Chain A
Amino acid sequence: MATKTLAGRTVEVDEEGFLVSPADWTETMAPDLAKEEGVELTDMHWKVIRFMREDFSSKGQIPTIRRITHAGGVTTKELYSLFPGGPAKKAARIAGLGKPQGCV
């Protein structure tokens, strides 16, 4: 367990850089996290991030790619071009959520 300073706040992160506590996250942290993932945030990125945060708080689990495409209004192709190399993990990390545990 390590700590990291993001947007002027110190938060706890795990070995892979995922926030230990989603509640620690604020939107101002997203651009720094995105830079670490090699992603520059656009409106589409924010649409995904906000959907994931909202879905996580209402469902209690990190949405899968399938859920993001069905309920979030973003296609699979779009997701992979917004977050190349693995949208599930990258978007979750940028959104201050934990590492997705599922197989899908």
Chain B
Amino acid sequence: MAEQIKKVSIIISHGSLEGVYPGLIMGNGARMEGIEANLFFTFFGLEAIIQKKMNHLKVATVGNPAMHMATWIGGIPGMAAMATGMMKKKIEALDIPPVGEFIEMVHDAGAKLYACKASVDMFGLTMADFCPQVESIINVGKFYEIAAGGQIIFT
């Protein structure tokens, strides 16, 4: 059997519901296997750790070819909310937690969460905007330091 992965650092760069879940599932899955995990939120990924926004992420219904929905239909007011509602129901039925609860769970499981300094500066945010599970705001150099010796996954 191949050598087990010891540490994984996952970057979450998108703020849609479908953009955030893969990173959370991989981070939580890593902890379930005893793998050290870091989660690094950058750009629109920051929405997943902003207290006010984390439970209001939406599914993209425009510019998302895999939705198989005509652009003009996807753009109808309320369409994103409806698609999001449907997706959230399916997620819950699989016993996968909503984003806020998932962030708590993955943190309590031992993963470390970080916010990207460049994005934080760009959006004019501070630690006060983030959920309590965020460890600190770090720059890319510090991220590489934290990730050293492990695998890096970009989502």
List the interface of chain A (C-beta within 8 A of B).
Answer: 64-67, 69, 75-77, 80, 84-89, 102-104
Contacts and interface: CB of A to CB of B under 8 A. Distances in A.
Given A66-B95, A66-B97, A104-B95, 18 more contacts: A64-B95, A66-B105, A76-B104, A76-B105, A77-B108, A80-B31, A84-B34, A86-B32, A86-B34, A88-B32, A89-B32, A89-B33, A103-B25, A103-B29, A103-B96, A104-B29, A104-B94, A104-B97
A85 B34 contact: yes
Nearest to A87: B32
B100 interface: no
B87 to A, nearest CB: 15
Q: How large is the interface on B (under 10, 10 to 19, 20 to 34, 35 or more residues)?
A: 10 to 19
For the residues of A in contact with B, the DSSP-based class is helix
B6 to A, nearest CB: 12
Q: Which of A65, A75, A102, A104 has the most CB of B within 10 A?
A: A104
Contacts of A80: 31, 108-110
Contacts of B31: 80, 86
A102 B104 CA distance: 19
B25 A102 contact: no
B13 interface: no
A99 to B, nearest CB: 12
A89 B110 CA distance: 16
Contacts of B109: 65, 76, 80
A80 to B, nearest CB: 6
A29 B32 CA distance: 24
Contacts of B34: 84-86
A69 B102 CA distance: 12
Contacts of A104: 25, 28-29, 94-97
Interface string B1-34: 0000000000000000000000001001101111
B32 A67 contact: no
Contacts of A89: 32-33
B105 A65 contact: yes
Nearest to B24: A104
A75 B32 contact: no
23 contacts: A65-B32, A65-B105, A66-B95, A75-B108, A76-B104, A76-B108, A80-B31, A80-B109, A80-B110, A84-B34, A86-B31, A86-B32, A86-B33, A86-B34, A87-B32, A89-B33, A102-B94, A103-B96, A104-B25, A104-B28, A104-B29, A104-B95, A104-B96
